[in-house]
């Protein structure tokens, strides 16, 4: 979206990067339409040194989850999905499924508490471990049920799963360390 808007100005050039392979088709269309002005790289932010940036006047970092990722229920970002727990934005080493089924209770609590600012992190982590000891957690709906049972009460303004899903997404994609 940013690239399309910037390229409306005749003398602009854009070097874009994104780790998500789902944006490749859009990027190829822009490269074809603006061959001298648009170049796309499928890399992470931490790999920005691999591209040549000629006299850049501006950098735009679009961080976090996109509506394209959230709306694709196959990717496991949405708590409305019943699909595999993935949450990967692309070029990932682990999935949310790996995290939920393999991290210790203490590590899960830390991830949920610090990356999601979740007050009920201890209870959620404990219930995740309790559940997975009986049966492997395989999809988003399993995790949603665990979180909802773990929360004492929750506001109608925000889904009770929001903070835990945010924490897992940030952890899986190394969103904070990508910028260091």
pLDDT at 171: 97
**pLDDT on residue 54:** 66
Euclidean distance between CA atoms 45 and 43, whole angstroms: 7
Q: Give Dmax (Cα) for the chain.
A: 61
Which residue did the predictor score with more confidence, 11 or 54? 11
pLDDT at 102 over 80: yes
Q: Where are the beta strands (DSSP E) in the chain?
A: 14-17, 38-41
From the CB of residue 150, how many other CB atoms can be counted at a distance below 10 Å?
A: 21
> What pLDDT, on a 0 to 100 scale, did the predictor assign at position 108?
98
C-alpha to C-alpha distance for 145 and 68, rounded to whole angstroms = 25
Residue 104 has pLDDT above 90, yes or no: yes
Q: Per the structure block, which two tokens stand in for 133?
A: 């000891």
Instruction: Express each pLDDT in 154-171 by its tens digit.
Output: 777 889 999 999 999 999
Q: What is the pTM of this model?
A: 0.85
């Amino acid at each position: 979206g940013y690239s399309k808007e910037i390229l409306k100005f005749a003398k602009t050039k854009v070097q874009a990067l994104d780790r998500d392979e789902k944006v490749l088709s859009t990027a190829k269309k822009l490269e074809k339409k603006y061959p001298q002005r648009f170049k796309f790289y499928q890399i992470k932010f931490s790999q920005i040194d691999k591209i040549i940036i000629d006299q850049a006047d501006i950098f735009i970092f679009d961080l976090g989850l996109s509506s394209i990722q959230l709306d694709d229920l196959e990717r496991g970002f949405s708590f409305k999905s019943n699909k595999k727990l993935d949450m990967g934005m692309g070029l990932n080493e682990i999935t949310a499924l790996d995290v939920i089924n393999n991290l210790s209770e203490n590590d899960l609590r830390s991830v949920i508490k610090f990356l999601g600012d979740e007050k009920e992190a201890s209870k959620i982590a404990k219930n995740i471990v309790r559940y997975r000891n009986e049966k492997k957690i395989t999809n988003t709906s399993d995790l949603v049920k665990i979180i909802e049972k773990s929360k004492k009460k929750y506001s109608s303004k925000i889904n009770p799963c929001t903070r835990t899903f945010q924490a897992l997404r940030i952890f899986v994609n190394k969103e904070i360390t990508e910028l260091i």
